[in-house]
Each structure stands twice: as C-alpha cells, then as structure tokens.
With several copies, the nearest count.
Chain A
C-alpha cells in the first residue's frame, strides 16, 4: 500500500488530515484524551468559549429526533482565562491541533477574545461562532447579517495573526453570500454548518421538550442540506470551506470533500462512537487506495456534474 497524503491546507494552516472534532461535541478535547490520541486528529475545535464563564441553559438540554438530535446547551463554559490556564497546557502536551471556537455578545468581545488567544501558546486557529441558534446573545445577530459577518471578521483579523474561520449558520436564505462576505473581510476559511433552529414538543404535556423551547438540529438528518450548502459556498468563494453536518462514516466525509470541503468536522457522531476517528481515517485511506488518489486534498470539489452514461452491469 502506497502512503497516501492526508494533509490539507486551511489557508496558512496545515492539518495533518482533514478530520476535525466539531466544537461543542468534544468538550475541551481533554475529556477524550483517554480514549483518543488527540495528536492523530486533523484538529480539535473546542467547545464555544465566551470571555466569562457561563452556566448555560437548564436541562433538558438535548432530545433525540429522527436521525438527529436537538441541543440547547446554551454554551455552558469555563471562560477564556480558565481555558488557557486549565485546558490549553494539556492539549499542547498531547500535541492536539487546537481550533478555538469563540463567541461574543458584541463585536468587542470577539476582538478581545481574539487578542487574548493570540497571546496564548498552542492555539492553531480561531473559529468565530456567529451561528449558535440557542442563545440570543450568541453571535447569531452577526451570523444572520452580511454586514455583521463582514464587520466581525474584519475586526478580528485586525488583531490576530491566527487563521480566522467564521462558522456560518444554515438558517439563512443564501449561505454562499455569507461565505463571500467572510472572504471579503479577510477570513482564511469558512466552516459550516452550525445547527438548524428547531424544536420538539411532548404532546402529552404540550410542553417543549427542551427547557429553552428551541434548539439546534444536528446529525445525519441534516447532512443533505449541509452538503448542498458546502457545494454552494465552494462555487462562490476561493478560500477553503470546512464542511460538517451529520458526518458518521468515511463515505459521508468524502461526500463533503467531493462537494467542496477542504476539511470536515464531526460532531454528533462522536457521541455515538467516540472511537470513530480512526475508522474515518481508515475509510478515507481505503478509498484513496481504491481510487488511486495520492493526496486527499485533490478530492476537494471534484463533483462531476456532467451527465452519466449507462453501463450494463450484470446484476
């Protein structure tokens, strides 16, 4: 078996492979250190961080839906200072490629977070969470406005040498225009999708199943919408697109890459199988072998939209 080049380029950042843990689905990474060798992942996007610690929403915080789940965690978190003090050193020791997902209520908060994290040792990139659907003050006001997106990205770019990756919400009419606004503002890449705003009601009590009433839908259910959005963004911008939404197998990851993703993130599937990482990488390697692809990066955006031909396959 020839060695296959799994590395991908996200702007100035090289990931050793295209499989990244999605924010909010992998704690601060350190929780998984005893089951996963963090250095083997393409990257770890840590749980969304505000400047200050946050309590998040009261339970119920999640509910399962057909092929998906709703969450309204409300970005419970330890705040940036404790993160740098308590988590980052271990992540560094374990040689994880750390992408910090940051959230603010105001533009200044994003800028302040970016400043603080730029001085910390061991941060590979910043992912701007301007798309959390679960909290009013969670940047979604930026994420649903083109000028808001443009402003927050360019403000953060001004204060940090780190690669900046705005994370886009799918709850908009034209996601590609947000990718464009991000690119115009100097983003190094965009990542998508965050979760879909959704809800579930217990008909016996007539109460919402989540304490927050609404939450974000993730998991395999959303994959076809997410793939379409990645495809649209890829056709609109030149910066790399990081794709996610319902990836649960190597085939799913490859589907996103062929649609246009340079790397992928895995969220919900990690809950189902914390050992999924090596299975995804093995599956990707196997595919490259079968199709004789030397560099995984060569797959990005290779969707073939010409008409297909018929073949006589003896069945």
Chain B
C-alpha cells in the first residue's frame, strides 16, 4: 500500500552538471520498496509543476541496519528535475510510493545481466543488493554519452558486480552503444565460451533506459533466447492507475496488442510482452 510522505531532504549530491543523487527521509517507503519500483514526487508550492513525476528508487539508505530513507538518481531535463537538482538539506519533497511492479530477481546458478542506459541505472542499485544477498553473480552493462556520465562504478564494484561499459564518444569502455558489448558477450556465451563461467542460457537480462535501447536489448535477448525484463518509461500523470496516460502496447496474440497502464502492469515487463512495433 503506497503512502504519501512529506520527505525532508537529508542531503543532495551533484554528480555532474546534470545528474544528482538526492537523499530523502522516507523510511516507510524505503522499507517497502522492491527493486524496480518507483515513487511519484512533487516539489514546489502552487502549480508549477502541477503533476507529480515518477522516479525509480535508487538506494535504500541504512544506518546500522536501521532504514533511514531512500535516494533518487535524477537527471536534469525539466522543471521537477531542476528543482531536485537545486534542492538543499531541509527542503521538503512530497513522495508517494512505492508503486508499480518490480523486477523478478533470479537465484543462482542463473546469472543476472543488468543493462543500463544513462539514468536508467537507477533501479539497479536495489536490484544488486537483493541479487547479491541471494548469491547471484551480477554483471552491469552500463552505457552513456561519455565517461563523465558513468556514475557509481565503485559502488557496484564494491558489491562484486562485474562492469561492462560503453560510451558513445569512446571515452570509456566500448565505443558506441551498450548493446554492442551485450551482444558480443551473448554471442560468446552461445558459442560455449562462458565469459563469466555460467552455463549457457543461465542468464537473465534486466534493462532500464531509453525506449529504443530497451527495444534493442529485447531483440538481442530474443535472438539469443535469454529471458529479459525491461522497465519502461512512459509519461505518468498519477502513478496509480487513475489517468490512463502511461499505457504501453502489450501483445495479446501473434499480431494484436492492447494498451496496458505501465504504472500498474509495469514499469517492469517481460520484454517479449511489449509490442515494440506499435507505440
């Protein structure tokens, strides 16, 4: 059951000129959140902005095992993300959640391959915690425009996550899109050369990022017959199933599809459920 919390800003850390991580005192939401779930936040007085905005829960903050709150990883693209960027300790952010369907964690010996594009990194911190607690080995494929937009690498390394990076300008990792190394490794795996020691097929792919990336990952996963879950990003008016703004076409037969509210039926979907050819 989602709750609405007037969450105090505990701290706000700028990662670059566009990215920040904001820590919010919303322990009840943090405690109830499963990896891939989101919150709807609202900042500011009056009606600019009018509507809440969806953000994945990034980290669950713990001090001596006690849950203190949660963080959001935010990229500055408009009015709310600008306010999240500018917020200072003590400010208040209205935070409603947790909402939506989470990722389905796998157990060993199946490996987890997480594919993140840009700010699509957000759900993978909590997913890593859950997977690593279960002993699952985790790889993060993480792509961005440039190396300056790749964050929290040490955080993931510290938790035993293997990193595969790509940048569009070639400044770090593969030069190009993150699906390039993903496909290469799947190819190696299919050829019997297990890059990380797992048996062929025992890989579950989790993706989050811009929709064309999700579509590309879904196609690659399908080609190599790997199960894949994607977290889609649709414009959300309410996050609770009230407005029908957030729909995505979901297959209901070989040819057909129907619109499903991604705030209730998602944001996480099995990649083969989505009718990518529609929109």
Q: Tell me, yes or no, whether A binds B.
A: yes
Contact surface of A with B, Cβ cutoff 8 Å: 24-27, 31-32, 34-35, 47, 55-56, 58-64, 66-69, 71, 73, 76, 219-221, 248, 268, 270-275, 310-315
Interface status of B222 (Cβ within 8 A of chain A)? no
Is the Cβ of B245 less than 8 Å from the Cβ of A62? yes
- CB within 8 A of B4: which of A73, A275, A311? A275
Is the Cβ of A314 less than 8 Å from the Cβ of B48? no
Most buried by A among B46, B234, B237: B237
Is the Cβ of B119 less than 8 Å from the Cβ of A315? yes
Nearest residue (CB) in A for B215 is: A310
Is the Cβ of B244 less than 8 Å from the Cβ of A59? no
Give B149 Cβ to nearest chain A Cβ, in Å.
Answer: 8
Q: Which chain A residues lie closer than 8 Å to B215 at the CB level?
A: 310
Is the Cβ of B245 less than 8 Å from the Cβ of A73? yes
Nearest residue (CB) in A for B234 is: A59
Nearest residue (CB) in B for A271 is: B238
Interface status of B49 (Cβ within 8 A of chain A)? yes
Q: Which chain A residues lie closer than 8 Å to B50 at the CB level?
A: 64, 67-69, 219-220, 268, 272
Q: Which chain A residues lie closer than 8 Å to B184 at the CB level?
A: none
Is the Cβ of A64 less than 8 Å from the Cβ of B49? yes
Main secondary structure of the interface of B (DSSP, over half): loop
Is the Cβ of B259 less than 8 Å from the Cβ of A220? no
Task: Give 6 nearest A-B pairs by CB, closest first.
Answer: A312-B212, A31-B241, A271-B238, A67-B47, A315-B118, A62-B245
Interface status of B279 (Cβ within 8 A of chain A)? yes
Give A257 Cβ to nearest chain B Cβ, in Å.
Answer: 22
Is the Cβ of B210 less than 8 Å from the Cβ of A315? yes
Q: Which chain B residues lie closer than 8 Å to A32 at the CB level?
A: 240-242
Give residues 220-240 of B contacting A (CB, 8 Å). Answer: 234-235, 237-238, 240
Q: Which chain B residues lie closer than 8 Å to A73 at the CB level?
A: 243-245
Interface status of B2 (Cβ within 8 A of chain A)? yes
> Could you list some 21 contacts between A and B, CB below 8 A?
A26-B242, A27-B242, A35-B240, A66-B47, A67-B46, A68-B47, A69-B50, A73-B243, A76-B259, A219-B47, A220-B50, A248-B47, A268-B50, A270-B238, A272-B51, A274-B242, A310-B211, A310-B212, A312-B216, A313-B212, A314-B213
Is the Cβ of B242 less than 8 Å from the Cβ of A314? no
Nearest residue (CB) in B for A246 is: B47
Count of residues in B whose CB is under 8 Å from the partner chain: 48
Is the Cβ of A62 less than 8 Å from the Cβ of B259? no
Interface status of B117 (Cβ within 8 A of chain A)? yes
Interface string of B107-142 (1 = CB under 8 A from A): 000000000011110000000000000000000000
Main secondary structure of the interface of A (DSSP, over half): loop
- CB within 8 A of B47: which of A24, A47, A61, A220? A220
Give residues 236-279 of B contacting A (CB, 8 Å). Answer: 237-238, 240-248, 258-259, 264, 278-279
Contacts beyond the supplied A271-B237, A312-B212: 12 A-B pairs with Cβ under 8 Å: A26-B242, A32-B242, A35-B240, A59-B247, A61-B235, A62-B237, A219-B50, A221-B47, A270-B242, A310-B211, A310-B212, A311-B212
Interface status of B8 (Cβ within 8 A of chain A)? no
Nearest residue (CB) in B for A61 is: B245
CA distance A68 to B49 in the complex (A): 9
Is the Cβ of B247 less than 8 Å from the Cβ of A61? yes
Give A275 Cβ to nearest chain B Cβ, in Å.
Answer: 6
With A60-B235, A61-B245: A31-B240 Cβ-Cβ less than 8 Å: yes
Interface status of B144 (Cβ within 8 A of chain A)? yes
Nearest residue (CB) in A for B42 is: A272
With A268-B50, A310-B211: A25-B4 Cβ-Cβ less than 8 Å: no
CA distance A27 to B243 in the complex (A): 6
Q: Which chain B residues lie closer than 8 Å to A221 at the CB level?
A: 47
Interface status of B101 (Cβ within 8 A of chain A)? no
Interface status of B96 (Cβ within 8 A of chain A)? yes
